[in-house]
Amino acid sequence: MQVPILKQGNYLIASVQSALSDDDLRLLRDDLSDRVGRFRSTGVIIDVTALDVIDSFATRTLQSVAQMLKLRGAYTVIVGIRPDVAFVMVQLGLTLADVGAALDLEEALEHLNNRRRRNLYEHRAKDTGEAGRLGRAGSSPNRPGLSPSRANRRADREGQPRSGHASPRSMEHGR
């Protein structure tokens, strides 16, 4: 069964409808990876509300999808893990590394927006004071949404009063 994928601005939203087979998973991974490249998406939301079970296999596959998307330049947020499903995952010791989690779509979008805003601060810091020292090593030239000029405009609008935070954050992310 194919997983529908929706494009919303810079993000992709995939809604898993039922238990995923290996083939479904492979399809979803390739599909997302392809679209992340085509649309330059910076975030992917995977909605698993419909899953009544997340076992070791499902965890392993979700993890591999997220890791693959990370290499393609997108961050993954899993949405809608039910309380009883989360309870069992904890009992089994199943964890998802490098993946965000949110209770609903709205929270997931907020999560991605916050991340994006943080990245913009970082870019702004590099463009101003620290550009010469840090160089361009940490910037992502293949993301039009994060081009320096746009980053500046966004940061000027939203970030002025908190510009003091830009420096330590950029250190943290500039490793």
Which spans of this chain sit near ligand ATP (rule: CB under 6 A)?
Answer: 56-57, 60
Using only the alpha carbons of the chain, give its radius of gyration.
18
Figure out which of the listed residues 38, 93, 142, 160 binds another protein, where binding follows CB under 8 A: 93
Residue 55, sorted as left (phi over 0), alpha (psi -120 to 50) or beta, turns out to be beta
Q: Is the dihedral of CA 125, 129, 133, 137 positive or negative?
A: positive
Shortest distance, CB of residue 90 to ligand ATP, whole angstroms?
Answer: 15
Residue 15 touches another protein, criterion: CB under 8 A: no
Report the distance separating Cα 105 and Cα 73, nearest Å.
21
Residue 87 touches another protein, criterion: CB under 8 A: yes
Shortest distance, CB of residue 10 to ligand ATP, whole angstroms?
Answer: 34
- The token duo for 42 is 């910076």
Figure out which of the listed residues 2, 4, 30, 53 binds another protein, where binding follows CB under 8 A: 53
What is the CA 51 to chain-centroid distance, rounded?
21
Residue 97 touches another protein, criterion: CB under 8 A: no
For residue 167, which amino acid is it? Answer: S
Q: Which residue's CB comes closest to ligand ATP?
A: 56
Closest CA to 73 of 152, 12, 5, 6: 12
Shortest distance, CB of residue 31 to another protein, whole angstroms?
Answer: 18
> Which residue lies nearer to ligand ATP by CB, 60 or 162?
60
Residue that the structure tokens 């010791």 belong to: 93
Figure out which of the listed residues 82, 117, 118, 150 binds another protein, where binding follows CB under 8 A: 82
Q: In what helix (H) or strand (E) does residue 46 lie, and over which residues does it extend? A: strand 43-47
Residues forming contacts to another protein in the complex (CB under 8 A) are 18-19, 21-23, 52-57, 59-60, 82-85, 87-88, 91-94
